[in-house]
Amino acid sequence: MPAHEGSHMYRAVPAQIDLPAMEHDVLDLWDAEQVFEASVAQSAGKPPWVSYEGPPTANGTPGTHHVEARVFKDVFPRYRTMKGFHVPRQAGWDCHGLPVELAVEKELGFSGKQDIERYGVAAFNERCRESVLRHVDEFTAMTRRMGYWVDFDRAYWTMDAEYVQSVWWSLKQIYDKGLLVQDHRVAPYCPRCGTGLSDHELAQGYETVIDPSVYVRFPITDEAFLTRFPGAVFLVWTTTPWTLVSNTAVAANPDADYSVVVTSDGETVVIASALVSSLLGDGTTELAVLKGSELERITYDRPFDLVEIPDAHYVILADYVTTDDGTGLVHQAPAFGADDLASCRSYGLPVINPVLPDGTFAVDVPVVGGLFFKKADATLVELLHDGGRLFKHLEYEHSYPHCWRCHTPLIYYAQPSWYIRTTAIKDQLIEQNELTNWFPGTIKSGRFGDWLNNNVDWALSRNRFWGTPLPIWRCPDGHLTVVESLAELSAIGGVDVTGTDPHRPYVDDITIPCTTCGATAARVPEVIDCWYDSGAMPFAAVGYPHVDAGAFAAQYPADFICEAIDQTRGWFYTLMAIGTLVFDRSSYRNVLCLGHILDEEGRKMSKHIGNVLEPIGLMNDHGADAVRWFMLASGSPWQARRVGHAAIGDVVRKTLLTYWNTVSFQSMYARLANWEPSQPAPAVADRPVIDRWLTAQAHELAREVDRSLEAFDTQRAGRLLSTFIDDLSNWYVRRSRRRFWDGDPAALATLHEALRITTLCMAPFTPFITERVWQDLFRTTDPDAATSVHLAEWPQADPGVIDAALAEDMALVRRIVELGRAARATSGIRTRQPLGRALVSASGWTSLSDDLRAEICEELNVAVIETLADDTAGFVEIAVKANFRALGQRFGKQTPLVAEAIASADPVALIAGIRSAGSVSIHASDVGDVTISEADLVVTETPREGWAVAAEGGESLALDLHITDSLHRAGIAREIVRAVQEARKQAGFDVSDRISVWWDTPDPVVRLALTEHHALIAQEVLATSFEEDTQRASASAVAVTVPDTSLGILIARSGDR
């Protein structure tokens, strides 16, 4: 509550805070004051900084990994906004595709496409649309809770009619360039989903499985060959016995050597020479070595006679065959392998496919008819065994592609599909990648660069229902008409269909006259890969070109995108590919690639294991700021990281609460002193050295955090901030407490400014707590302050204020203080007991200013501090070590010899010589005389006797432990002060309460201490009266116990008398 009307005082900031509750209040504040909207509106006209929101698929509950990506997608826009850029942020939802279809299938209890067709495509797609809308709410709630500012009102939906038509437009551009084609190829195919998958979808679904690994005898039937080698068989290896049913040929490498060998069992077999010993072992007899080319067209008897395959079953030649594993003779089933198909086609072999689109063998196939392809393996292996064809049967563990959504093993399957010929723009893609900044950089040439180098055409079409329909109409003669919009369809067809839902089945009902021949053309049945949808968002999100061309121009390409590493071949690829296909340039300049979030044991989070951290719960336990800070600053963003309650709780205690308590401290004492930031304070240059130091550090902080964020390095920025907060609380405030009790304007103004800079720098990271602080400390005190910290400008670092020399000096001060504390601890004399003097030896010490030395004295509670080297009494022990870093540069190979010479020299004489002459010459064996200066040495000076000493890294401090009577009494006085303070706290007095003190003691030393230090004690404990008298006990008086004394004290609040 403000002290009076029109005042510019801080609000009271309680020491205790419930962070999650505070965050909810801040969320309400942002809503009430429309802060996000204001931050975008306020920057209109400023240079744009564009980041794209990769649309999450709304088909399930958001997880902690979604929070991770969203934290990074939030922190940089907030930062750029503060830096004076205009950063519009459009939310987006990925609506189409298999994930959604599968979720709906599951809800409806369906098991395949037939079920969907029976249910009706219109109704099914309606369920898909409804499912998307349902799940979007959960994402919105999580997004709001975590403080990710993104504009949901303008969100793009990939299922919107405008979006779909934008995608159509782009496909037409690609078609017009001749890069959208239909082709029959062997492609990965999910038999359960009944559709082919693209290579980047394939990448999502590898699973480790154990398959049979069988070596099969293919008896040779070529008479000439058999005449030379009676009873010879080809040994053929496969891990997919089910494809043996459609065996069409055996491929050999024309240039490889093949051996005809008799095994130890007396059997004549043909395999690659390179594999004879590993496969057949010892005891074989080699009959002949033939080139693969000599085997061409040698016929054999196929393993199964279940389907008709005419004019086949001989050896063909193919370069891709290797002799690294298997037998060097590769079974060919052209319907189920891309290489097989190409090789067999070149020999004019037929392509026979006995497997139906649902993955089962056709019912009329003997033995395996109706069986799911994978399930046929066991039956077939048994059949091979019974027929004497099985040479060897092992199990083989390998990773095999599975459907990324339903986990059905995929089948490589020949079928017609639509492709985008990305291979035609491969060089352009590589060029665009060169112009892209990847974080971390290794992705660029590594994972992503490899992917581009091995680029294959994009299998675009899906034989499914809920997706963007391919905008291609075909007439009976096969002429194609590709359209870019419903308006174009209306124009061609002469019927207004602009109000039609551009989804199946409605769009399928539209027919148009063929633009080539005029015959009736109908849409091809396929929909497209939903990854195309999301990759099209840079233009489709604004409905380009049909809706708003200006918006697109302003937001292309993006300055920044960010997702987890699994998007390398997903969104990162589709964005770059579509951008390059349609606009000849990639859609983004900088891309941050995050590592995955793991559980506390380092396992992937999955529903199966039950180790999923539910993000809203996590944020309600610890606060969104804590989760955000963890994601940004704890560990390396591109490294897989373990997240758990302990790690996030740490963030709260170490960073957020320390910051908060510093704020609370400042608010408390400023209010007690009726201080306002607008009150005059001495110029920084005229303030005490510690104020100048803190101010310099704060400006350096602003500069360095800025640099880090420019380089997308949140980890370094976080480290800078938490170090600064620690310095602030545990050095500046700790050292300056007394000045705050006294209401010193210089101290209050210094801390105010330091907190202002910290709060601003931290705002993008932890937007809640910084907003609370901004409201309580800055908005209330400055009528010109921005109404939200997120509407404020980034703090300008003044290079003139930054003082590297002072920072170094202060670091030395703190190291010396640490030595002093260590010496105190080893001596057993508590800091409360004043000591007479300390001696210091450290490089840089002699040039330390008096006020910095005073800091050390005060902190260590010693009367004077002096230079150890000045003490000529001879009780200083000097140890000298070689400084290898300096010597190594000068002497290279001879460094150890010089170091040895230094070690064996008399350190006292050495130092005496150097200190008087600047350098000395010493003799090193095999090197000769060398000149040594102090920089070549690490000098440690320690006193010999009667002192408490601590030394580290060439710096040392010694405490004079002699306690005089006067020091003893001063110690007692401090002891009394501490005891009274403790009692005040116990009694629940406020820090500003004045008290009365009555005391009595039989001990003359204590009595003397009390009288001697009477004024000091009274001042320290805020006593308005301080009398020797224990008889005056009052009802509210509190007894104070002072350890190790026979002192009796009573205190009472002055007002309580």
CA gap 940, 907 in Å, rounded: 10
Candidates 8, 392, 642, 968: give the one binding RNA (CB under 7 A): 642
Q: Shortest CA distance to 406 belongs to which of 204, 564, 563?
A: 204
Enter the tokens of residue 445.
């040439």
Task: Report 548-607 residues binding RNA (CB under 7 A).
Answer: 565-566, 568-569, 596, 602, 604
746 versus 1021: smaller Cβ distance to RNA: 1021
Shortest gap between Cβ of 485 and RNA (angstroms)?
Answer: 34
Both structure tokens of 1017 = 């004690």
**449-468 positions binding RNA, by CB under 7 A:** 450-451, 454
Does the footprint of RNA cover residue 611 (CB under 7 A)?
Answer: no
Tell me: does residue 646 bind RNA (CB under 7 A).
yes
- Sign for the CA dihedral angle at 397, 403, 404, 407 comes to negative
Compare residues 239 and 788 and give the one whose CB is closer to RNA: 239
Nearer to RNA, 108 or 456 (CB): 456
Supply the minimum distance, in Å, between the C-beta of residue 880 and RNA: 12
Kindly tell me which residue out of 195, 587, 895, 942 binds RNA, with binding defined by CB under 7 A: 895
Based on CB atoms, which residue is closest to RNA, 385 or 830? Answer: 830
Residue numbers 741-760 binding RNA by CB under 7 A = 741
Which of 232, 269, 237, 267 is closest to 251 using CA atoms?
A: 237
Q: Is 136 helix (H, G, I), strand (E, B) or coil?
A: helix
> CA 616 to CA 639: how far, in whole Å?
24
Of residues 829 through 868, those in contact with RNA by CB under 7 A are 830-832
In the chain, the N- to C-terminal Cα span, in Å, equals 29
Size of the site for RNA (CB under 7 A): 89
Question: Exactly one of 878, 950, 1037, 1042 binds RNA (CB under 7 A); which one?
Answer: 950
Round to whole Å and give the CA distance between 1053 and 1034. 11
Q: What is the dihedral of CA 872, 873, 874, 880, to 10 degrees?
A: -40
Q: Which of residues 716-735 bind RNA (CB under 7 A)?
A: 719, 729-730, 733-734
- Residue 620 as a binder of RNA (CB under 7 A): the answer is no
Among 344-352, 553-561, 801-809, 877-885, the segment contacting RNA (CB under 7 A): 877-885
Please state the φ and ψ torsions of residue 964, each to the nearest 5 degrees: -80, 170
Burial of 696 (0-12, 13-18, 19+ CB in 10 A): buried
Binding to RNA (CB under 7 A) within 1019-1038 occurs at 1019-1022
**Residue 827 lies near RNA (rule: CB under 7 A):** no
Window 658 to 697, contacts with RNA (CB under 7 A) = 658, 661-662, 664-665, 668
Q: Distance between CA 255 and CA 292 in Å, rounded?
A: 6
Instruction: State the nearest-atom distance from the C-beta of 458 to RNA, in Å.
Output: 13
Nearer to RNA, 136 or 856 (CB): 856
DSSP state of 163: H
* CA–CA distance, 721 with 739 (Å, rounded to integer): 25
For position 987 contacting RNA by CB under 7 A, the verdict is: no
Which of 345, 653, 1032, 1057 binds RNA (CB under 7 A)? It is: 653
Our CB check for RNA shows the closer of 385 and 885 to be 885
Under rule CB under 7 A, residue 991 binds RNA: yes
Instruction: Take residue 912 and report the two structure tokens written for it.
Output: 């005496």
As a whole number of Å, the CA-based R_g of the chain is 40
Instruction: Please choose, out of 13-21, 24-32, 609-617, 835-843, the segment that lies near RNA by the rule CB under 7 A.
Output: 13-21
Determine which residue in the list 44, 266, 893, 1031 makes contact with RNA, applying CB under 7 A: 893
Determine, following the binding rule CB under 7 A, whether residue 1041 of this chain makes contact with RNA: no
Residue 224 interacts with RNA (CB under 7 A): yes or no? no
CA–CA gap between residue 531 and residue 767 (Å, rounded): 33
- Dihedrals phi, psi of 412, to nearest 5 degrees: -85, 125
Residue 456 Cβ vs RNA, minimum distance, rounded to whole Å: 7
User: What is d(CA 741, CA 754) in angstroms, rounded to the nearest whole number?
Assistant: 18
Binding span for RNA by CB under 7 A among 263-271, 406-414, 539-547, 656-664: 656-664
Distance of CA 879 to the CA centre of its chain: 48
Token pair recorded at residue 1036: 């509210």
Contacts of RNA in 787-826 (CB under 7 A): 818, 821-822, 825-826
The verdict on 210 binding RNA (CB under 7 A) reads no
Tokens at 590, concatenated: 């900088």
When asked if residue 896 is in the footprint of RNA (CB under 7 A), the reply is: yes
Segment contacting RNA by CB under 7 A, of 100-108, 120-128, 252-260, 645-653 = 645-653
1012 Cβ contact list (under 8 Å, min separation 6) = 969, 973
The piece of 286-294, 540-548, 773-781, 945-953 that touches RNA (CB under 7 A) is 945-953
How many Cβ atoms sit within 10 Å of the Cβ of residue 474?
16
Nearer to RNA, 70 or 444 (CB): 444
Which is it for strands 862-867 and 835-841: parallel, antiparallel or unpaired? parallel
Query: Where does this chain touch RNA (CB under 7 A) — which range of 118-126, 200-208, 366-374, 804-812?
Result: 200-208
HSE-up of 949 (CA within 13 Å, CB side)? 18
- Region from 31-39, 117-125, 965-973, 1017-1025 binding RNA, contact rule CB under 7 A: 1017-1025
Decide if residue 641 touches RNA (CB under 7 A): yes
**Nearer to RNA (CB atom), residue 19 or residue 492:** 19
Six-digit token pair at 500?
């039609």
Q: How far apart are CA 269 and CA 219, in angstroms?
A: 9
Of 132-140, 357-365, 370-378, 629-637, the window that binds RNA (rule: CB under 7 A) is 629-637
Work out how close the CB of 665 gets to RNA at its nearest, in angstroms, rounded to a whole number: 4
Applying CB under 7 A, which of residues 111, 114, 399, 796 lies at the interface with RNA? 399
The residue (of 818 and 1000) whose beta carbon lies closer to RNA is 818
Of the candidates 739, 624, 621, the one whose C-alpha atom is nearest the C-alpha of residue 30 is: 624
| Tokens of residue 595, six digits | 């590592």
Instruction: Tell whether residue 384 is a contact of RNA (CB under 7 A).
Output: no
- Integer Cα distance of 38 and 25 in angstroms: 18
Min separation Cβ 694 and RNA, Å? 13
Neighbours of 111 (CB within 10 A): 11
Nearer to RNA among residue 668 and residue 838 (C-beta): 668
> Does the protein bind RNA through residue 447 (CB under 7 A)?
yes
Whole-number Å distance between alpha carbons of 998 and 1025: 8
Distance in angstroms (rounded) separating the CA atoms of residues 359 and 371:
8
Residues 29-88 that bind RNA (CB under 7 A): none
Q: How many CB atoms lie within 10 A of CB 986?
A: 10
Q: Residue 91 or residue 592: which is nearer to RNA going by CB? A: 592
Question: Among residues 556 and 660, whose Cβ is nearest to RNA?
Answer: 660
Which residues have a catalytic role annotated? 55, 94, 531, 567, 571, 604, 607
Judged by CB under 7 A, does residue 227 bind RNA? no
Is 396 among the residues that bind RNA (CB under 7 A)? no
Smallest distance, Å, CB 633 to RNA?
Answer: 10
Nearest to 284 by CA among 315, 260, 300: 260
Closest separation in Å from C-beta 128 to RNA: 26
Which residue is listed with tokens 């097989």? Answer: 340
Q: Which residues of 887-923 are buried (b: 16+ CB within 10 A; e: fewer)?
A: bbeebeebbebbbebbeebebeebbebbeeeeebebe
C-beta closer to RNA: residue 382 or 952? 952
Contact between 762 and 770 under an 8 Å Cβ cutoff? The reply is yes
Residues numbered 262-321 forming contacts with RNA, rule: CB under 7 A: none
Whether the Cβ atoms of residue 404 and residue 204 lie closer than 8 Å to each other: yes
Q: Report the relative pairing of strands 206-219 and 390-401 from DSSP bridges.
A: antiparallel
The footprint of RNA on residues 321-360 (CB under 7 A) is 324
